[in-house]
Amino acid sequence: MLTEERHQLILQLLQEKEVRKLQEFVEATGSSESTIRRDLSQLEEGKKLIRVHGGASLVKQKRLEPSMTEKSLQYAEEKKHIAEYAASLIRKGDCIYLDAGTTTLEMIPFLEGKEITVVTNGMTHVDALGERGIQTFVTGGFLKANTRALIGQGALHGLRQYSFDKSFIGVNGIHLDFGFTTPDPEEALIKRTAINQSQESFVIADQSKFNETAFAQIAELNKAVIITNCVEEEVLHSYSKITRVKEVRA
Question: Does 239 have pLDDT greater than 70?
Answer: yes
**Closest of 170, 227, 228, 224 to residue 199, by C-alpha:** 224
> Tell me, what's the pLDDT at 142?
94
**Taking all residues of the chain, what is their mean pLDDT, rounded to a whole number?**
90
Round to whole Å and give the CA distance between 103 and 215: 21
For 146-194, what is each residue's pLDDT tens digit? 889 999 999 999 999 999 999 999 999 999 988 999 989 899 999 999 9
> What mean pLDDT do residues 14-25 have?
87
For 49-58, what is each residue's pLDDT tens digit? 888 878 888 7
Beta strands at 149-151 and 142-144: parallel, antiparallel or unpaired: antiparallel
CA end-to-end distance (rounded Å), the chain: 54
Round to whole Å and give the CA distance between 204 and 224: 10
DSSP H/E element including 8: helix 3-16
Domains in the chain, CATH or no CATH each: 3-59 (1.10.10.10), 68-247 (3.40.50.1360)
Q: Which residues of 154-189 are buried (b: 16+ CB within 10 A; e: fewer)?
A: ebbebbeeeebbbbbbbbbbbbeebbbbbbbebbbb
Q: Which residues of 72-90 are buried (b: 16+ CB within 10 A; e: fewer)?
A: beebeebbbbbbebbbebb
For residues 114 and 100, the answer to whether their CB atoms sit within 8 Å is no
